[in-house]
Structure 1
Amino acid sequence: MSLNRQEKAVVIEEVSAVVAKAQSIVIAEYRGLDVASVTVLRKTARESGVYLRVLKNSLARRAVAGTAFEPLAEQLTGPLIYGISADPVSAAKVIAGFAKSNDKLVIKAGALPNNLLNQEGVKALATMPSREELLSKLLGTMQAPIAQFVRTLNEVPTKFARGLAAVRDQKAAA
């Protein structure tokens, strides 16, 4: 079903708004995928906060024009599904994870702001930890010395209490 000019303008506006907030875009060729598989992919993407859309390539070119993702426009050929994410690794993780279990979905390219990625670059990006994981590791690393110091300070009164309990038990046994 073709869209009229107003509907195309609405689609371009919607996708442009998402792209403006995006940190990564991944495109994959979905030729041969059945509807059930695409539905599973959409559900996974929605749960991960990834905007997933099948879009006419000409509309996608207009949506990325004038943005940091403009170099991606050269890669927009064939039947493509677009994964757009505000997290730099989420879209790559979702699409690469699905592509592992379904060989009909082929990652074609991806982009970070002002940086075009090839298929290997997208797969490498998918193996990186997410922002939340990195922040939790950083916080754990920062808290470790403080927690160890607190345990060390807490050990002095604990040893004293154990010593008193041992003396009490010794006197009670005598």
Structure 2
Amino acid sequence: MDRAAKKELVTTLSEVFDKTSLVVVGHYSGLKVSEITDLRRQMRAAGAGFKVSKNRLTKLALHGTKFEAIGDLLKGPTAIAYSDDPVAAAKVAVEYAKKNDKFVLKGGVMGGTTLDVEGVKALATLPSLDELRGRLLGMIQTPASRIASVLQAPGGQLARVLSAYATKDEAQAA
């Protein structure tokens, strides 16, 4: 890799770190290219990114960002997963690490807070941003449907009472 390509990679990684909210670091020693490609595909499907780069270049890109704390984790064959959604990259990384023992989580950073392996695993158990939006929308819609049924109930009861009086009057008249 020549100097210009290295500089471009550092610039690209710096831009990624500026836009993302979560970075997870993993150790990928022993993974085949097809396995890394599969992990990349899973990350992309979840709206996350996955990058294998030289540790020194990644540390240069981390300099001056809120993720600078993960620089200590960059030893050996490491890869980074990142996402705008604070849960997506962690979910995919934890699930992949469960299935493949050659991919080992080292830690991460979310919004300036350093996470150990257990912190990343705890983050992965949280619902994603889309799941939370769906739940919130469901909670908002539920009271509205309850209000509508409560408002309709007195009208229905009033109609039944009037109908009962009408049939009672008809029965007395006959």
Q: 1:164 to 1:125 in 2, by over 3 A?
A: same
- Structure 1 position 76, deviation (Å): 0.7
Deviations 1:31-85 (A, max 9, x none): 1111221111111111111111101000110111100001111111010111011
> Which 4+ runs in 1 deviate beyond 3 A?
155-167
Deviation at 1:17, TM superposition (A): 0.7
Q: Name the residue aligned to 1:134.
A: 132
Structure 1 residues 164 and 105, CA gap change in structure 2 (3 angstroms): farther
Residue in structure 1 matched with residue 91 of structure 2 by the alignment: 93
Q: Partners in 2 of 1:15 and 1:51 — Cα distance?
A: 11
Quote the RMSD (CA, aligned, Å).
2.1
Q: CA deviation at 1:163?
A: 8.1
Counterpart pick for 2:34 among 20, 36, 42 = 36
Which residue in the other structure is 2:46 paired with? 48
1:1-174 equivalent positions in 2, closer than 5 A? 3-158=1-156
Alpha-carbon distance, 1:134 to partner: 1.8
Whole-angstrom distance in 2 between the partners of 1:16 and 1:84: 12
> 1:153 deviation in Å?
1.9
Q: Please say which structure displays the higher CA radius of gyration.
A: 2
Cα shift at 1:87:
0.9
Deviations 1:82-108 (A, max 9, x none): 101111111101111111111111001
1 CA distance for matches of 2:156 and 2:34?
Answer: 61
What residue identity is the alignment partner of 1:63?
A: A
C-alpha distance after superposition, 1:114-157 (max 9, x if no partner)? 21111111000110111222222223223322210101223344
Q: What TM-score comes out, normalization by structure 2 length?
A: 0.87
Change (3 A) 1:165 1:44: farther
Structure 2 gaps of 5+ residues are: 168-174
Which runs of 5 or more structure 1 residues have no equivalent in the other structure?
A: 168-174
2:81 is paired with a residue whose SS is: strand
What SS does the aligned partner of 1:109 have?
strand
Residue identity matched to 2:92: V
Q: Percent identity?
A: 40
Give distance in 2, aligned partners of 1:158 and 1:35: 67
